[in-house]
Amino acid sequence: MNAEKTSDEQEVLLESDEIQGNILAGFNKDHQTLIALGIGDLPAARAWLTRVAPHISSLSEVAQFNGLFKARRRRLGHDPVGLIATWVNIAFSYDGVAKLKSAAIAGQVPDDAFKDGLPKRAASLGDVPTGGATGTAGWVMGGEGRVPDILLIVASDDSSEMALLADQLTPGTGDLGGAPVVLWKEVGDTRSDLPGHEHFGFKDGVSQPAVRGLLSKSPDVYLAVRELLPPAAGAISFATPGSPLVWPGEFVFGYPSNNDSDGTAVAPAPLPSWVRNGSLLVFRRLQQDVAGFAGFLRASAAALASTSDFPNMTPERLGATLVGRWPSGTPILRAEIKDDPDIAKDPQSVNDFLYANDSVAPRFKEGYGTAKPLPPAKGDPNGFVCPHAAHIRKVNPRDQDSDKGDQFDTLTRRILRRGIPFGPPLPAPPGGQLPADDGVERGLHFLCYQTSIVQQFELLQTDWANSTANPKAGGHDLIIGQPGTPIREVELATSVGNSQIVQTNRTFVMMTGGGYFFSPSISSLQNFLAVP
Amino acid sequence: MKVCLGFAFPGLPIQRMEREVATYTEFNAPGNNTDFAGQPNVAKDWNDQMSYIFGTSTTSVSAYLSKHGGGTCQFYNPVTQGRAEPDLPASVTDIPWNGFPKKFDSKTPGQAPNYVGAEGPVAAGTNRNQDEYLEWFVVQKAGKIVSVQFTCEAYDYFQFLASELPAKVLELYQTYISPQVTMADLFPNGAGTDYDYLNKWNTELGAMHLTHPANNLFAEVFLAASATVRRSQHGAEITQTIPLIKCSQYGDAGRNSDPAIGAAVNGLARDGRYVTIADPVGLYMSGFNGAGLTLNGNDASGFFKVVRGAFPMALRAIYELTPELQAQGLTVSDVQLNGKPLSYGGQLAERITMHIAGRATVSQNLHNTPITTCGSVPQVKPPQPAESSAKALLLSSR
């Protein structure tokens, strides 16, 4: 063992040939097809799984490619042309595992939400009214009675390569009769006009936790590159500025997870061996009302600008206030009045801010960091700049306490997001006019991985985004919050004691389908689920 | 106070919350309950008791700061020391926490909360092991849950009430716990003396008010006051939640509540603000999330009823079916959460948000030096107030 290492860096070796690649490394592709499948005939389903299994992309493969891609981009100054990869991952619902093996085995995946399935949890999440007559019947996929058994993910840098492989893997004439049937299929693409941005126009996926663990030993290769020196005793460790290190057990079964009091490692609970190296996948097909959101921002900003509290409010600033970031991804805590895209381009600053306290200047290891770093960001404990109800503050309160605990507890709520937009962008009309809805559906394929849907994704949605009180008082998350009340609101507080409450009776993000799945290890797929 | 100003697309108003000044003429009963209605002497005694608690807190913190060179006490009594300057918006100084005890919550992925441990039966003379200022009692009959009682009323309030209005205490028990409760059950040595706050109706058979030793108003106020003391270690001010509570020792680091209250108050103190707790002082239920609760496919969130106070200052709530549904043989055990029958009261408790309403001045004029000492603030009691409430004060100081 290297004597120079600190205890902070003594980490587990990830079984990178076992863990599916999208979980910890992320495909990060411009094109992604989701294929929902239903199992009919079991032998045919197993035969199809056996055919698909060799295509499943591992953490090792995806991480190596991502590293190569980044290295080439760093050298070239732009995305490398011709360097493409096409990846495949697979996940199973409770029903899917139960059909392939048994209900008892499906029940070994330790999460009540997974066992229930998304339709049963939809009312708790605010996706449908509690006790409503229609329930999830209107969803395009995944509603009650239509829960897919399998979700196949095919992603590529090249849309034609993706389509080719997706077609090849789709059960068809080459498979045994009774092979899984396609229940639903949809392509997601990054926006060609604004790559990396969702349809409201905001950069997506900026903040992700850095997962601890080694891809290889001797030499040690960390999954998350460690640019920073270990912190002071008792403080959270970061891999890069703003990316806290989280133990892999929060995202993959069989590894140490985070102690919710001090961030130290907690040994994994005993699990059946087939669950090890697996992860829980949440998929939500979120439709976005882009024109409605733009209209709301414009009207509400005008009303706020007519007050003495927010005389300089603009639709762009209100949008950034409600999201917590400007469209470029620049955090509003680093640019309060207007967007500064240069900050978004600076990996050292775009994510480096806290809420309860001022951030501290990062201490880089030799060879990392820039010569002229931006000053540390000021904290905003009272939410005067970034309201407590701002989307990014709601779902990740960072160093600010929540109703569930302090910053170390919040680390146990983190998820790994792997979303991609679907549908074409809504064209912006010339001259700053409000866009009109064109009747074309668009939105986000929201995907995230974790080891507890109950304590991670569902807590973020139900306890925080849907609540006016949690994690701190100040209103709903107006982006994804769905409290089940006719009106949603955000309080914009001022440092002189007044505040303005912005309200809406419209929902700008609508749930239209999804599911809860288990993404098994590659050997569990091959040697357990695909065999009788 | 909300003031309508304009209309936002598609036609909803924005509203202005006007700033307020936390100056009160008196302390009112928790949740503005009407227990003292028509009893001005009792109301005065309650005001005296609360002022005494605030006085003890400010006196203690002042003495501690003086001893350690920490400057001026930033905590104040809003009745006797009311400040003229406005406060921050109330939402900014609102401090929420989850009502289900952290110590029984799940620690590792996939592990369910320890509901059984959290709501195990307690015998008369012992307290419930629920330490988030919310306690609950599951009423069962023939193995089915009939109702779940929730309370966040501090025991020192009931001790006060028992010393002043024993008949009122009996009335509350008979209203909310059972008509069978007798004066002798509550006052074994005679009405008005030696209120047995861990009597069987508040332990074995119900939850009238909080029982955990930490769950009292004195502790709430003293914690908030103690948390205004700024601390430093190794040359740097302590700003993190757990290190703060471990150094300051104003509460239990293993809870949702105490660390959050202390850290929020300390943050306001670090900003140079004066801090207090809004009247009426209490630890309240501010909301209940009933989404996903169904009975025979219908919304069952409405069976959660606040029966003393009102959100966001709810003191007591009960989850039970209507008499009509109970007559049909239905029970709370027939209610489903996410499609599965409710089995524990804790499943409802973890959907309750608790809070205290802090207040802090807009002005940031007080810049105390963090002290380098760790340790709790010792209690220094000011002179006793009116004779009439001395008995209650002695009871409340545990």
Residue A321 contacts B, CB cutoff 8 Å: no
Interface mutation vs chain B, best among A120, A124, A259, most B CBs within 10 Å:
A124
Tens-place pLDDT, residues A137-168: 999 999 999 999 999 999 999 999 999 999 99
**In 10 A of CB B146, how many CB atoms?**
15
Residue A464 contacts B, CB cutoff 8 Å: no
- Rg (C-alpha) for chain B, rounded Å, is 22
- The pLDDT of residue A370: 78
Q: How many domains does chain B have?
A: 1
Check if the beta carbon of residue A507 is closer than 8 Å to that of residue A109. no
Write down the domain spans for chain A: 9-206+520-529, 283-514
Q: Is residue B8, in this structure, part of any structural domain at all?
A: no
Take residue B215 and report the two structure tokens written for it: 């769950």
Residues of A within 8 A of B337 (CB-CB) are: 124
- The pLDDT of residue B11: 52
**3 state SS of B82:** coil
- The pLDDT of residue B251: 94
Report the alpha-carbon distance of residue A238 to residue A226 in Å, rounded: 8
Tens-place pLDDT, residues B128-140: 999 999 999 999 9
- The pLDDT of residue B383: 64
Report the alpha-carbon distance of residue A280 to residue B48 in Å, rounded: 56
Tens-place pLDDT, residues B85-101: 899 999 999 999 999 99
Find residues 172-201 of chain B whose CB sits inside 8 Å of chain A.
none
Is B240's CB within 8 Å of A121's CB? no
Task: Specify the length of chain B in residues.
Answer: 398
Q: Which residue in the block uniquely carries the two structure tokens 């339709």?
A: A119
Considering only the beta carbons, identify the residue of A113, A302, A406 that sits closest to B241.
A406
Residues of B within 8 A of A451 (CB-CB) are: 109-110
Report the alpha-carbon distance of residue B150 to residue B130 in Å, rounded: 11
Residue A268 contacts B, CB cutoff 8 Å: yes
- The pLDDT of residue A167: 96
pLDDT in tens, chain A (532 residues): 333 444 455 789 999 999 999 999 999 999 999 999 999 999 999 999 999 999 999 999 999 999 999 999 989 988 899 999 999 999 999 999 999 999 999 999 999 999 999 999 999 999 999 887 788 999 999 999 999 999 999 999 999 999 999 999 999 988 988 899 999 999 999 999 999 999 999 999 899 999 999 999 878 899 999 999 988 888 899 999 999 999 999 999 999 999 998 999 999 989 999 999 999 999 999 999 999 999 999 999 999 999 999 999 999 999 999 999 999 999 999 999 999 999 999 988 999 999 999 998 999 999 898 777 888 999 999 999 999 999 999 999 999 999 999 999 999 999 999 999 999 999 988 888 899 999 999 999 999 999 999 999 999 999 999 999 999 999 999 999 999 999 999 999 999 999 999 999 999 999 999 999 999 999 999 999 999 9
Report the alpha-carbon distance of residue A213 to residue A225 in Å, rounded: 10
HEC assignment per residue over B371-387: ECCCCCCCCCCCCCCCH
Report the alpha-carbon distance of residue B12 to residue B62 in Å, rounded: 48
Q: Return left, alpha or beta for B25; rule: phi > 0 is left, psi -120 to 50 is alpha, else beta.
A: alpha
Find residues 91-110 of chain A whose CB sits inside 8 Å of chain B.
110
What's the pLDDT band for B16 if we cut at 50, 70, 90? confident
Q: Which residue in the block uniquely carries the two structure tokens 């309030």?
A: B157
Is B16's CB within 8 Å of A495's CB? no
What's the pLDDT band for B2 if we cut at 50, 70, 90? very low
| Residue A436 dihedral angles phi and psi, to the nearest 5° | -100, 145
Whole-number Cα distances in Å, B35 to A259, B42, B165, B291: 45, 9, 9, 33
B347 to chain A, closest Cα gap in Å: 13
Take residue B172 and report the two structure tokens written for it: 């509350």
Is A469's CB within 8 Å of B97's CB? no
Check if the beta carbon of residue A275 is closer than 8 Å to that of residue A106. no
Take residue B239 and report the two structure tokens written for it: 């700003």
Residue ranges with strand state E in B47-122: 94-98
Check if the beta carbon of residue B304 is closer than 8 Å to that of residue B289. no
Residue B121 contacts A, CB cutoff 8 Å: no
Considering only the beta carbons, identify the residue of B18, B111, B259 that sits closest to A498.
B18
What's the pLDDT band for B76 if we cut at 50, 70, 90? very high
**Which one-letter DSSP state was computed for residue A309?**
S
Kindly give, in sequence order, each residue whose CB lies less than 8 Å from that of residue B277, ignoring residues fewer than 6 positions away: B78, B220, B221, B224, B356, B357, B358, B359
CA–centroid distance for A304 within its chain:
32
Is A451's CB within 8 Å of B110's CB? yes
Residues of B within 8 A of A356 (CB-CB) are: 239, 263, 267
Report the alpha-carbon distance of residue B330 to residue B325 in Å, rounded: 6
Residues of B within 8 A of A261 (CB-CB) are: 242, 253-254
- Full domain range(s) for residue B353: 21-398
Take residue A420 and report the two structure tokens written for it: 């991609």
**3 state SS of B333:** helix
Is B338's CB within 8 Å of A296's CB? no
Residue type, B6: G
Is B8's CB within 8 Å of A473's CB? no
Sequential DSSP letters for A214-262? EEETTTTEESS---B---STTSPPEEETTEEEE-GGGTSTTS-EE-TTT
| Residue A524 dihedral angles phi and psi, to the nearest 5° | -65, -35
Report the alpha-carbon distance of residue A491 to residue A489 in Å, rounded: 7
B348 to chain A, closest Cα gap in Å: 13
Strands A499-504 and B352-360: unpaired
Sequential DSSP letters for B53-111? HHHHHHHHHHHHHHHHT--S--B--TTTS--SSPBPPGGGGEEEEESS-GGGS--STTP
Run of H or E including B141: strand B135-141
Considering only the beta carbons, identify the residue of B108, B286, B291 that sits closest to A257.
B108
Residue B102 contacts A, CB cutoff 8 Å: yes
Which of A39, A22, A52 lies closest to A167, judged by CA? Answer: A52
Interface mutation vs chain A, best among B3, B12, B242, B286, most A CBs within 10 Å:
B12
| Residues in a beta bridge with B341 | B336
Q: Is residue B9, in this structure, part of any structural domain at all?
A: no
- The pLDDT of residue B18: 77
Residue A309 contacts B, CB cutoff 8 Å: yes
Sign of the torsion formed by the C-alpha atoms of A5, A9, A11 and A14: negative
Is A452's CB within 8 Å of B110's CB? yes
Average pLDDT, chain B: 91
Is B2's CB within 8 Å of A501's CB? yes
Burial of B336 (0-12, 13-18, 19+ CB in 10 A): middle
Is B339's CB within 8 Å of A116's CB? yes
| Residue B229 dihedral angles phi and psi, to the nearest 5° | -75, 120
Tens-place pLDDT, residues B246-274: 999 999 999 999 999 999 999 999 999 99
Which of A297, A277, A274, A287 lies closest to A138, judged by CA? Answer: A287
Average pLDDT over residues B311-319: 98
CA–centroid distance for B252 within its chain:
15
Is A130's CB within 8 Å of B301's CB? yes
Find residues 2-61 of chain B whose CB sits inside 8 Å of chain A.
2, 5-10, 12-20
**Which one-letter DSSP state was computed for residue B327?**
H
Is B299's CB within 8 Å of A462's CB? no
Q: Is residue B12, in this structure, part of any structural domain at all?
A: no
Tens-place pLDDT, residues B207-242: 999 999 988 999 999 999 999 999 999 999 999 999
- The pLDDT of residue B390: 41
Considering only the beta carbons, identify the residue of B16, B286, B338 that sits closest to A500.
B16
Interface mutation vs chain A, best among B17, B283, B351, most A CBs within 10 Å:
B17
**3 state SS of B365:** coil
Run of H or E including A106: helix A103-106
pTM value is 0.95
